[in-house]
A and B are shown apart, each in its own frame.
Chain A
């Protein structure tokens, strides 16, 4: 029972981060119909950046913010310079380009930062909280993780719901032609979307890294979990991505607790196949048919 309880708690913490990362994929997919397989590698690079800053005695919070800013800029750069030319081409070209970003950044990080494990410090304590005399698998740092993601989601929701900028971004994602006719600078909105996804992704990368050793490919599996989570939610629903992320987080925690951590990715693949075969539009699909 204790094992189940602990797995559930760590599953929720993981799930929240997966949800944040799935949101990045959704943010980009809604705007450009592209899955950014390089998102994890981008987040990995900014996490290393934060680590280097912390090692050079920059305050933790400042390093954190610097990494987020770097993620924002990297996202904008990737869209404007690398992805823009293939946005309108065959979808396989965009897939290949984002995979190129993925593999190039991981290799570049291994060259610059080394391939060894590097300990990334946590923002808060890593000792389990005491509840009623027993220690549970929920640590102050996990609470920070969950809180940070919730705040980020609220900001994002506010941006899209209540600001004119958010409205223009939604219009660009909904129909580029019409948005252009109405005077929205669609190109800028797309760049901004990728930049926001980069920022959000680097937040997720930092939160996953906190308190664990990182290495250049530490985000590989996370990209897959987030992708499965996003597909679970239908790829264009923010709420769906969050629910999908939690489902994935819990699944991965149970599988790694009861079966073996090496099988977590295969479990995610199994979920993906079941969802795509039974409900291709995702759990939150409306009646609109879409080819997957």
Chain B
């Protein structure tokens, strides 16, 4: 297994036949390496948040809710090979759970509410996963698409609890006093709720990435890839296909639940119009452009989702489009990106770069062997 242990944080569908020669300076433990990376990233986030204004901080908080959702989906689709167009609906489950609890039980700590939202969404994910484990390809896509279109309808049916068409207005969680004190002692400033959410979201997103990056390089990750690559071989190796698939779905749904819990407090509203099929498909865009199965790609894809929309709206206005027209530029780009990436570079950004790198190195080694 030393081959897998030495691979970088990104893993793609390309079987990298040539293992990197373990150089002396390299960290032996994948877990420790990921932990250090995560701490460094959090440190960087703190520096960044001290430097930027509240608008940018809120944008970073949006990035923080996209990352778990996209990373979770990349594990499901990229690593395990199950396509899901229903993750927007699973995010809705997390968001509505969070919203209802924040409104009805305002005394509960926010992190506990997040935990409950994750558990509820994971349970829903288990239910969907049991059904999904028997399906593949277009069947699975169609079933999960129906989920994405159909599930928000429940918010209208249970109007008293879930707010119906206009949705739930969600109060911001309060900043705990000890966090406020700590922040005040270090910076001499007050921590506003929106910046607090950026810190909290960033920490949760990084924790998710830490857990997932270790998970995909663990026994479970190998099991999921084995199921994706060759069902018969995996079954012969003693893997229970159904269990592996359901487990991947539950993990992925839990991530979507966290994403929904963060989305609810960042956008301060949970409404059926916020969880359209476009949300589910935009998550798919993010994993496809980053590269199926790559967590680094998931981060790049999430960043694209957060920053492309305001960018394209601004460009649209420059071109003289109305606000409604400009707002549709982003989904138009998503669609074109899905098609173009699949036709030109099906491995996505990270996969293509990685493949080029491996091919060059293989070329060099081949040349070295001849001389």
Contacts and interface: CB of A to CB of B under 8 A. Distances in A.
A273 B131 CA distance: 7
Interface string B112-127: 0000000000000000
Interface stretch (A98-106, A122-130, A134-142): A98-106
A276 B335 contact: no
A186 to B, nearest CB: 21
Contacts of A263: 150, 153-154, 157
B336 interface: yes
B153 A266 contact: yes
B151 to A, nearest CB: 7
Q: Interface majority SS on B: helix, strand, loop or mixed?
A: helix
A292 B135 contact: yes
A101 B138 contact: no
A272 B139 CA distance: 9
A154 interface: no
Interface string B143-161: 1011101110110110000
Nearest to A273: B131
Contact of A276 (B135, B150, B336, B339): B135
A96 interface: yes
A93 B346 contact: yes
Interface string B88-99: 000000000000
Nearest to B334: A103
Interface string B316-331: 0000010011001111
B271 interface: no
Contacts of B339: 82, 97, 100-101, 104
Contacts of B253: none
Contacts of B138: 29, 34-35, 91, 94-95
Interface string A20-37: 000000000100001101
B226 to A, nearest CB: 17
B343 to A, nearest CB: 5
A134 B281 CA distance: 47
A89 B134 contact: no
Nearest to A225: B146
Given A110-B328, A228-B146, A265-B150, A103 B281 contact: yes
Contacts of A106: 331, 335
A187 interface: no
Contacts of A110: 324-325, 328
Contacts of A276: 131, 134-135, 139, 143
Contacts of B324: 110, 114-115
Interface in B58-72: none
Interface string A38-53: 0000000000000000
Interface residues on B, range: 35 or more
B277 interface: yes
Interface in A71-120: 82, 85-86, 89, 91-97, 99-108, 110-111, 114-115
Contacts of B281: 99, 102-103
B337 A100 contact: yes
A268 interface: yes
Nearest to A82: B339
A168 to B, nearest CB: 25
A262 B157 contact: yes
Given A224-B149, A262-B157, A266-B151, A100 B142 contact: no
A227 to B, nearest CB: 4
Contact of A273 (B143, B156, B277, B329): B143
Contact of B146 (A35, A95, A265): A265
Contacts of B190: none
Contacts of B336: 100, 104
A150 interface: no
Given A37-B145, A224-B145, A111 B338 contact: no
Interface string B27-40: 00000000000000
Interface residues of A, number: 52
Nearest to B78: A92
A26 to B, nearest CB: 12
Contacts of A89: 346
B99 to A, nearest CB: 19
B343 A107 contact: no
B342 A93 contact: yes
B143 A272 contact: yes
B278 interface: yes
A221 interface: yes
A97 B338 contact: yes
B288 interface: yes
A182 to B, nearest CB: 29
Contacts of A100: 334-339, 342
Contact of B328 (A93, A107, A272): A107
Given A92-B81, A220-B149, A266-B153, A292 B329 contact: no
A231 interface: yes
Nearest to B13: A90
Given A107-B335, A292-B139, A99 B284 contact: yes
Nearest to B85: A99
A35 B321 CA distance: 34
Contacts of B142: 35, 37, 224, 227-228, 231, 272
5 contacts: A35-B142, A103-B332, A107-B328, A111-B332, A115-B324
Interface of A: 29, 34-35, 37, 82, 85-86, 89, 91-97, 99-108, 110-111, 114-115, 217, 220-221, 223-224, 227-228, 231, 260, 262-266, 268-269, 272-273, 276-277, 280, 291-292
- Ordered nearest first, which 9 A-B pairs have the shortest CB separation? A104-B335, A100-B338, A265-B150, A262-B153, A107-B332, A107-B331, A103-B335, A35-B138, A100-B339
Given A103-B332, A104-B335, A114-B324, 18 more contacts: A95-B137, A96-B342, A97-B338, A99-B338, A101-B339, A107-B329, A107-B332, A111-B328, A111-B332, A115-B328, A262-B157, A263-B150, A265-B150, A269-B146, A269-B147, A272-B143, A276-B143, A292-B134
